[in-house]
Amino acid sequence: MVGRRQINGRAVNPVGLGCMSLSWAYGTPPSEDYAVQLLNRALDLGYDHLDTANIYGLGHNETLLGKALKGRRQEFFLATKMGIVVDGPRRGVDCKPETIKACVEQSLERLQTDHIDLYYMHRRDFSVPIEESMGAMADLVKAGKIGAVGLSEMSADTLRRAHAVHPVAAVQTEYSLWTRNPEIAVLDACRDLGVTFVAFSPVGRGVLANGVRDMAALPDKDLRHTMPRFNADNWPKNLALVDAFNAIAAREGVTPAQLSLAWVHSRGDHVVTIPGTASIPHLEENIARWDWDLPAHVADELDSLINQHTVAGPRYGPVIQQTIDTEEFA
């Protein structure tokens, strides 16, 4: 049976909650009243690791969490991020030491707390040596503003360089059956260094939760419209994989989302997931089988069905890909 797992010495449920879709990315976000209800329901269900970022809704998501959960702050492990900058049409990454220290103050205010358990650099700033950025993060730990340092979408080499300056508690990267990049190096590097691996989009942007069928049915502003795997050439091929995946889930007596999460958890005891949702029923579904052990023969079957060779298209277009430090398959 899958048990609770560790982030920076704190035990958490292996299924955490990614909060982005309550503010941004997948069409129109839910009303504030519904979002507040969802966040409180999450804590009631046993979610104790919540993940947000300053960029989600340009501060809206952190503000939402601060308002909704201020009276329950001790019930969950709080993670947020800094580093991605959106200025009108311009998008970039800024992890200069002075920026890191200014951003944490803004996040603390929005979250209505005096302490962030895990603070990530959201992306690698290639204009600043990682050692300099880590020095600023270490200062925040010493000052008691953050409990631990995290890296997001960074390579094994960057992780090792950063960890040499100050311990890194977690690395967050997209990981699911259909995004296998962490298997190149980061997953093993985390295991070697005692770093928790936090998998975002563990149900493949909803694909492996049977949440995407007809692309035309998605809202116009849905982020998936910009992703190559969902275009007219690639999506029909990927949908065929989804149909086979859903059949395996039905055979095993679990939902597709539960099967997808169990597969990610099976990759190592140092792995946790943060599926996101703006739906209370989906929230309940994702955690309902959190302790289910995926049989080894089923894991092997899934590995053969959906992997970097069978999925059509890259996960990001060329503009976003330039901000990603994680290793890529040839």
By annotation, the residues acting in catalysis are 56
> What span, in angstroms and rounded, lies between the C-alpha atoms of 120 and 43?
22
- Characterize 226-258 residue by residue with b for buried, 16 or more Cβ atoms within 10 angstroms of its Cβ, and e for exposed: ebbbbeeebbeebbebbeebbeebeebebbbbb
* Chain length of the chain: 330
Distance between CA 70 and CA 89 in Å, rounded? 33
DSSP string, 66-129: HHHHGGGGGGSEEEEEE-EEEETTEEEE---HHHHHHHHHHHHHHHT-S-BSEEEE-S--TTS-
Residue 192, C-beta contacts closer than 8 angstroms, at least 6 positions apart? none
208 vs 212: CA distance, rounded Å: 8
Q: Please say whether the beta carbons of 202 and 175 come within 8 A.
A: yes
Instruction: Measure the CA–CA gap between 166 and 139, rounded to whole angstroms.
Output: 10
Strand partners, 93: 84
